């Protein structure tokens, strides 16, 4: 089940399929330190090549590598900025 309200933050659990509700947590939920990366997804330690292929690991690394897109609250704007970012990276 997925909710898709255009102005909700894309990081909200309501936009994720239920099965992924506990997969992705921001660093601020893992620890109380006020770091520059507090809104990044927590990347879990992996000790094998198989672990590096896990969704939990790959999505966290991918999301954290995105530029300012992470701070945008509107899903519509995230889509626009993500398309711009991907097109620029192809050039």
Q: pLDDT tens for residues 26-42?
A: 777 777 878 777 778 87
Query: Could you tell me the end-to-end alpha-carbon distance of the chain, in angstroms, rounded to an integer?
Result: 36
pLDDT for the residue numbered 49: 92
Say how far apart CA 66 and CA 59 lie, in whole Å.
11
> Confidence class of residue 16 from pLDDT cuts 50, 70 and 90?
low
* pTM metric for this prediction: 0.56
In the predicted model, is pLDDT for residue 7 greater than 50?
no
With 0-12 CB in 10 A as exposed, 13-18 as middle and 19+ as buried, what is 81?
middle
Helices (H), the chain: 27-30, 55-65, 75-90
Q: Where are the domains of the chain?
A: 13-90
Q: By C-alpha distance, which of 48, 30, 47 is closest to 39?
A: 30
Q: pLDDT tens for residues 46-71?
A: 889 998 888 888 878 888 887 777 77
């Amino acid at each position: 089940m997925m909710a898709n309200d255009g102005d909700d933050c894309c990081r909200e659990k309501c936009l994720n399929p239920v099965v992924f509700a506990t997969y992705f947590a921001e660093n601020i939920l893992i620890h109380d330190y006020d770091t520059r990366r507090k809104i990044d997804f927590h990347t879990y330690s992996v000790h094998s090549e198989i672990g590096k292929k896990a969704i939990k690991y790959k999505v966290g690394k991918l999301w954290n590598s995105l530029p300012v897109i992470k701070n945008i609250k509107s899903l519509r704007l995230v889509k626009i900025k993500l398309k711009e970012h991907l097109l620029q990276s192809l050039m």
